[in-house]
């Protein structure tokens, strides 16, 4: 039996992964401050504040893989991200180290590289260009996870989740969409992949228009099936209207919040 601890299991990603990752040879230890409903077979529920590192350490007993999802998951004032995206990420990594966990999967975000132009291809080597304070917290989380890989031998996967939605709802998502099925498949691969050191992978579906290159991680065996192009007509006819900054950047709306710079200049910079 493989025991997988999921932080933030009551959230949007967590609810989908809870169902999608369930298997007879896995125990899912689901952790959140919010209600998790009733436990299904092979589930262990933990309602708690994961920023409490000693308590979190105890919950990592017997855990093989941590899927760290809990976060403040959108752009906000600078101070909003400290307790969750910095302190909680540290607590999760440190508790995993102390408990001897072997593998850590970090839900990062495309917002870590959000100011790269939407029409230019980025790969895992793209320089950090966070879309704002939220993206900055994901850059920091990836860096901290890298320390735990280098210094403590934790196998780390950072998944830069793009737009995790049932279907694309605006023109940017024709490029950035990650379907629920492909998201489950990607996190499943990160759990089951051969032992590795540290890698970054983009969480996107097989969208014709995507400009995120995962070719460095072919060994992972992630082969997405869905393509946002299927919804192109629907998106063009009924999709949400978005502004110019949102439509031209990988990070979309997060780049637009409080934007008073020069978009042409920002997009020309590399
Ligand atoms: N949804 C997306 O499209 C998307 C895109 C990019 C990255 N991500 C990343 O994926 C992860 C999950 O995102 P989401 O959309 O499911 O977010 P969400 O806000 O729906 O879920 C986060 C969960 O974390 C829990 N949580 C918050 N503070 C906690 C604490 N102190 N202790 C324990 N649990 C706590 C919340 O109760 C919530 O259930 C986040 O790290 C987010 O940054 C999501």
Residue 270 has a pLDDT of 75
Burial 234-266 (b: 16+ CB within 10 A, else e): ebeeebeebeebbebbbbbbbbbbebeeebeeb
- Is 134 one of the annotated active-site residues of the chain? yes
* pLDDT, position 269: 81
Q: Is 60 in the pocket of ligand 1 (CB under 6 A)?
A: no
Could you tell me the distance, in angstroms and rounded to a whole number, from the CA of residue 10 to the centre of ligand 1? Answer: 8
- State the average pLDDT over residues 134-142: 98
Number of domains in the chain: 1
- Please determine, for residue 134, whether its predicted confidence score (pLDDT) is greater than 80: yes
CA 84–ligand 1 middle distance (angstroms): 9
Q: For 231-267, what is each residue's pLDDT tens digit?
A: 999 999 999 999 999 999 999 999 999 999 999 999 8
Helix pair angle (180-192, 12-20), 10° resolution: 70
Question: What confidence tens digit (pLDDT) does each residue in 1-55 have?
Answer: 999 999 999 999 999 999 999 999 999 999 999 999 999 999 999 999 999 999 9
pLDDT band at 159 (very low <50, low <70, confident <90, very high): very high
- Give the pLDDT of residue 145: 98
Residue 47, ligand 1, Cβ within 6 A: no
Cα–Cα distance, 64 to 46 (Å, whole number): 17
Give residue 268's pLDDT band: very low, low, confident or very high (50, 70, 90).
Answer: confident
pLDDT at 160 over 80: yes
Question: Is the distance from the beta carbon of residue 51 to the nearest atom of ligand 1 less than 6 Å?
Answer: yes
Nearest to 137 by CA among 77, 61, 221: 77
CA 262/CA 130 separation, integer angstroms = 16
The protein residue whose alpha carbon is closest to atom 7 in ligand 1 is: 109
- C-alpha span between 166 and 68 (Å, rounded): 21
The average pLDDT across 138-146 equals 98
How many beta carbons lie within 10 A of that of residue 231, not counting itself? 19
Mutational pocket test of ligand 1: of 18, 34, 70, the residue with most ligand atoms within 8 Å of the beta carbon: 70
Beta bridge partners of 198: 156
pLDDT digits (tens, 9 = 90+) for 54-99: 999 999 999 999 999 999 999 998 899 999 999 999 999 999 999 9
* Cα angle, residue 180 at apex, residues 195 and 199 outer, rounded to 5°: 25
**183 pLDDT tier (thresholds 50, 70, 90):** very high
Domain that holds residue 83: 2-268
> Rounded to whole angstroms, how far apart are CA atoms 115 and 189?
28
Phi/psi of residue 48, nearest 5 degrees = -165, 165
Looking at residue 37, which CATH number applies to its domain? 3.40.50.720
């Amino acid at each position: 039996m493989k025991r997988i601890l999921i932080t933030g299991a009551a959230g949007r990603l967590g609810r989908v992964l809870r169902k999608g990752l369930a298997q007879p040879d896995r125990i899912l230890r689901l952790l959140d401050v919010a209600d998790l409903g009733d436990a299904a077979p092979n589930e262990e529920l933990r309602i708690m504040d994961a920023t409490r590192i000693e308590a979190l350490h105890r919950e990592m007993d017997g855990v093989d893989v941590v899927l760290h999802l809990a976060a403040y998951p959108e752009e906000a004032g600078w101070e909003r991200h400290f307790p969750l995206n910095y302190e909680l990420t540290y607590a999760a990594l440190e508790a995993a180290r102390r408990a001897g966990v072997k593998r850590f999967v970090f839900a990062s975000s495309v917002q870590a590289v959000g100011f790269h132009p939407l029409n230019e291809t980025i790969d895992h080597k793209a320089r950090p260009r966070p879309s704002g304070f939220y993206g900055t917290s994901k850059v920091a989380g990836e860096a901290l996870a890298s320390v735990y890989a280098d210094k403590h031998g934790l196998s780390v996967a950072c998944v830069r989740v793009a737009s995790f939605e049932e279907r694309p709802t605006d023109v940017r998502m024709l490029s950035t969409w990650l379907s629920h099925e492909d998201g489950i498949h990607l996190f499943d691969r990160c759990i089951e992949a051969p032992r590795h050191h540290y890698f970054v992978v983009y969480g996107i579906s097989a969208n014709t228009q995507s400009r995120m290159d995962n070719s460095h991680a072919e060994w992972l065996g992630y082969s997405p099936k869905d393509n946002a192009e299927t919804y192109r007509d629907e998106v063009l006819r009924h999709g949400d209207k978005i502004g110019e900054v949102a439509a031209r950047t990988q990070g979309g709306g997060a780049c637009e919040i409080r934007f008073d710079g020069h978009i042409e200049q920002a997009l020309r910079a590399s």
